[in-house]
Structure 1
């Protein structure tokens, strides 16, 4: 099944966080989380984003694009907020596996797996100040249940970058298994896709 044909879930509420589609109205909260976490987001992104001089207006433009892609069912982005809705704790992205970014990549299966058997690549990050409390693991566990229960995706993969060692090690402590290695042109580290 293609991601664009899937009805997106509204969100998820747990004791630790609220997950809902991101909107431009989230710009200030999102910006604070991004800038606090910018050094490790550059490793996760494998780019210079966000730059030290990244602005709220630049973030607003990013969120406009994310909100539009969500509305058009091209990709889905969710903000992770504290239960009171006063602090952004991170973001979750569901990208179609036929997205342009994958078209130019070298995707190597680990074992007997086919990339086109999967509808979505799921990426996520949590605010740097929440890593010590292992919110990333709490979020991953909740996402696994949510995606299985509230989405009709069929296959999906959790993707991170090998140089984002904190997330790789956290995933390594789960029962998720490496399925693909993804090498994108002009990026120094491989992406790792788990199921």
Structure 2
């Protein structure tokens, strides 16, 4: 198994709550499993086009979804990856998720992935959230070279980049 380095130093104050304009970010934890599952299932067709690994193909039940969330939540606790759920102001609807993971490939510090619930895709709100994510990653997190695979970089190019060397 590949051992990733922490994305941020131990003294970095990782946000547990971000209040944006018309949305809230919270760490994706088991608390939000049902909201996330409902959005994933509703958006399954468009998600297959966003991610290269056919995700969320393996999610066929709430239990499957919870397993994914628990893995991501452990990465959050270990500070090697940060998954956030994007919620409406009442924290009752999953608008989408954003993931900040170590980049496996040369040329970038981290890989940023995000998706939106099909009910919100292509709306003014998602444009605002996307713009927020892109500035937040650089300004708050201090990430100098973020990559946005499947968005700014086609998967065919991303997956053929030279891989970084990690410790095992």
When normalised by structure 2's length, the TM-score is: 0.79
Partner of 2:157: 181
1:89 paired to 2:95: yes
Residue correspondences, number: 154
After TM superposition, the structure 1 = structure 2 runs for residues 23-34 of structure 1, keeping only pairs within 5 Å, are: 23-34=29-40
Partner of 1:36: 42
Root-mean-square deviation (CA), in Å?
A: 2.8
Q: Select 1:20's aligned residue among 22, 26, 32.
A: 26
When normalised by structure 1's length, the TM-score is: 0.69
1:3 paired to 2:13: no
Q: Check conservation: 2:23, 2:87, Cα contact below 8 A.
A: yes
After TM superposition, the structure 1 = structure 2 runs for residues 113-152 of structure 1, keeping only pairs within 5 Å, are: 115=107, 118-152=108-142
Ranges in structure 2 where 5+ consecutive residues have no aligned partner: 161-168
Q: Select 1:77's aligned residue among 68, 79, 83.
A: 83
Cα gap change, 1:68 to 1:140, in 2 (>3 Å) = same
Larger proportion of helix: 1
Cα gap change, 1:158 to 1:48, in 2 (>3 Å) = closer
Cα gap change, 1:65 to 1:122, in 2 (>3 Å) = same
The structural deviation recorded for 1:52 is 8.5
